[in-house]
Amino acid sequence: MNKEKAILYLEVLFAVIAWGASFIATKIGVQQVSPITVVWLRFGMGIIILGIAVTARKEFALPAKNEWAYFALLGFLGITWHQWLQSTALITAQASTTAWIVATAPIFMALLGWLILKEKITWLQSIGIALAAFGVLLIVSNGELKSIFSSQFGTPGDYMIMLSALNWAIFSALSRRGLKTHPAARMMFYVMIFGWLFSSIAFFAGNNWSEIPNLSLNGWIGIVFLGVFCSGLAYIAWYDALQELSTSQVGAFLYLEPLVTVVVAAAILEEPITWVSLLGGAIILLGVYLVNRS
């Protein structure tokens, strides 16, 4: 492996570790301020980082007139709505559980392709979808599958995270059009701007600015980590790798993300690492692999 390729792999690894730890940082943040405040602060910082990167790389260009509404839709779905769902979910859901459920997003993408685009699903992919669903049920029920039929099954946050995984699949499908005409970093920059503007409406309408003094040192560390590393540098590193490596090479690293979350959540939030979580997570990853192996 040459030096340049090794650097790209390290960039991907950095992005995945940052995103895996983002659930812990978000959970710390929503314990001190409301979810919309976390989203607003995080992406306000992310815009600055991405804007500097796009300008430094001389990729800056205004979208065409017919693209503004498109980027606004992506901003609402991929930033405002998606991040509010995840931040709010983490009030009641465990960070490790959240990460495993988010890992099912490729399953929803396959199902959307089948339902809307009439793409074929092979018998192996069907097995993968069933396995991933079983893995989620195993984790959310904490191994007590009988609880699926009771009112005590899962937390409100677990259901919101499942909705966010579906939402991310929709966002990813819609993003394909823009990626055909824009560099990924520039496109994400505009998507993030619109998402931040939409979150600003809710932030100021609810007088959430008054919550900011409630953030402790640990809270600010979490917010800065989310803004600078997760919403800024991680995106840049990820897209750098995508420009030079194949999608499958880069995408394979995403299997590490929930594992990073489990370890960091155990170390910082003292969430227990249970055999149910690891077994259910392994089943989810196997299901995702079968759906995407093609």
Return the structure tokens found at 74. Answer: 């992506």
Domain spans in the chain, listed from the N-terminal domain onward: 3-292
The DSSP result for 151-213, as a single string, is TTSS-HHHHHHHHHHHHHHHHHHHHHHHHTTS-HHHHHHHHHHHHHHHHHHHHHHTTGGGGGG
List the single range of 43-52, 69-78, 141-150, 159-168 with lowest mean pLDDT.
141-150
Q: Express each pLDDT in 13-57 by its tens digit.
A: 898 899 999 999 999 999 999 999 999 999 999 999 999 989 998
pLDDT tens for 220-250 read: 999 999 999 999 999 888 877 877 776 666 7
Instruction: Name the DSSP class of 225.
Output: I
- In terms of Cα–Cα distance, which of 110, 78, 66 is closest to 199? 78
Q: How confident is the model at residue 152 (pLDDT cuts 50, 70, 90)?
A: low
Q: Which residue has the higher pLDDT, 184 or 166?
A: 166
pLDDT in the model for residue 59: 86
pLDDT at res. 150: 66
Query: Structure tokens of 13?
Result: 């690894």
Confidence of residue 160 (pLDDT cuts 50, 70, 90): very high
Q: Is 23 exposed, middle or buried (0-12, 13-18, 19+ CB in 10 A)?
A: buried
What's the chain's average pLDDT?
Answer: 88
Long-range CB pairs of 148-157 (<8 Å, 24+ gap) are 155/92, 155/93, 156/89, 156/92, 157/88, 157/89, 157/90, 157/91, 157/92, 157/93, 157/98
In this prediction the pTM is 0.87
Helix/strand number for the chain, H first, E second:
14, 0
How far apart, in whole angstroms, are the C-alpha atoms of residue 70 and residue 67? Answer: 5
SS3 state at 84: helix
